[in-house]
Amino acid sequence: MGVIFGITGGIATGKSTVSAMLRKRGAVIVDADLLAREVVKPGSEGLEAIRRKFGDAYLHPDGTLNREKLAALVFSDEKAREQLNAITHPLIRQKMDEQVRSALQADPLAVVVMDVPLLIESMVKENLRRVDKVILVYVPEPVQIKRLMRRNGLSREEAESRIRSQMPIEEKRAYADFLIDNSGTLAETEEQVERLMDKLRKLVRDAAG
């Protein structure tokens, strides 16, 4: 298999923005958040497992998942978060692996980037490095808090609580092979992504010999 990159960040650091910039430059993005929605669609084994574990109260009347209600629970209850992750993570990983394989079969020199919000947390917890190189999208925590409050209409206390449910962004820097500082302008981020994409292409070519 070729070189697999992982991109991660923290809540409201702008990981999706940077992923979109990489995609625009030809990277194949395998998006864990998109697949997380897929594995809990009506009729899926993921949704049925959630219903059995948490009850019908976490479904809308039309049978779809009530994401807001489930998010409120798992952000305030670590045991519930672990139970949810135990259901969804294996299903998401399976779909991600399928997409990576198919991208590399289509183009062995593809720059394949797995977009995973909790990539570093899962690497640490499982002591398993699922990607060859880690790209971290970084902003300092005060910027993270401000952006999350604005984006989600949260109070400072709510924003801080959500951010604290993840590994601190400063700690994540130690695990990063590449860092994109997204605290400036979009143009400044674009410049960094342009340089990064050149490095990723070179790594893929070198690995292919």
Q: Is the pLDDT of residue 125 over 80?
A: no
Cα(144)–Cα(36) distance, rounded to whole angstroms? 23
- Residue 128: pLDDT above 70? no
Amino acid in position 46: G
Domain ranges of the chain: 1-27+111-209, 39-109
What pLDDT is stored for residue 2 in this prediction?
A: 76
Element housing 31 (H / E): strand 28-31
pLDDT bin (cut points 50, 70, 90) of residue 12 is very high
Q: What's 110's DSSP letter?
A: -
Please check whether residue 61 is in contact with residue 55, taking contact to mean a CB–CB distance below 8 angstroms. no
In terms of CATH architecture, what is 1-27+111-209?
3-Layer(aba) Sandwich (3.40)
Q: What is the pLDDT of residue 162?
A: 86
pLDDT in tens, 80-99: 988 998 999 899 989 999 99
Place of tokens 């059995």: 52
Average pLDDT, the chain: 92
Instruction: List the structure tokens of 148.
Output: 């999350």
pLDDT given for residue 47 in this prediction: 95
- The per-residue pLDDT for 1 is 63
Among 61, 60, 58, residue whose Cα is nearest residue 70:
58
Task: List the beta bridge partners of residue 135.
Answer: 7, 178
Name the more confident of 77 and 129: 77
- The strand pairing partners of 2, in sequence order, are none
Instruction: Retrieve residue 150's tokens.
Output: 């604005």
Neighbours of 116 (CB within 10 A): 27
Where residue 55 falls among pLDDT bands split at 50, 70, 90? very high
| DSSP annotation string for 67-89 | HHHHHHHHHH-HHHHHHHHHHHH
The mean per-residue pLDDT over the stretch 40-51 comes to: 93
pLDDT for 127 equals 62
pLDDT of residue 124: 82
